Amino acid sequence: MSVVRVACLLLLAVPAAASAQSMNAETFYQKAMGLKKKGPMALFSGDIGILMREGQGAGKASGLARKAALKAGIRPRYCPPSEVRGMDRNEYIDRLGRIPQAERRRIDITEATNRIMAGKYPCAA
């Protein structure tokens, strides 16, 4: 399968979910850490809805890109077991925090999600 065809499949699979992504990973992380410090009072923050939408959109875009890669016959960036349906938010934030701050500043939350999932569910060689 040609590289152009694979690229087209990936671009077609992700536009709706990816277009909603505007927050870089560092901004997401800082907002999440601020909410974590607020404890139960975080429920009253306007940021909680923003982060939920961003996180859900990133997860959806990442999953769609993975499915498109599989359909195109190329190796996806991560390979979770079939029964996996998500990740606990505390684990997600912890793994996001392991990405160096300089990198978090340069990538969006979808790319961070891809890296997090690849770290947790690497594909067999």
**Whether the predicted model's global pTM rises above the 0.75 cut:** yes
The string of pLDDT tens digits covering residues 14-37 is: 444 444 457 899 999 999 999 888
Using the predicted structure, report yes or no on whether residue 79 has a pLDDT greater than 80: yes
Q: What does the chain come to in residues?
A: 125
Q: Tell me the one-letter amino acid at 17.
A: A
Task: Check if the beta carbon of residue 64 is closer than 8 Å to that of residue 110.
Answer: no
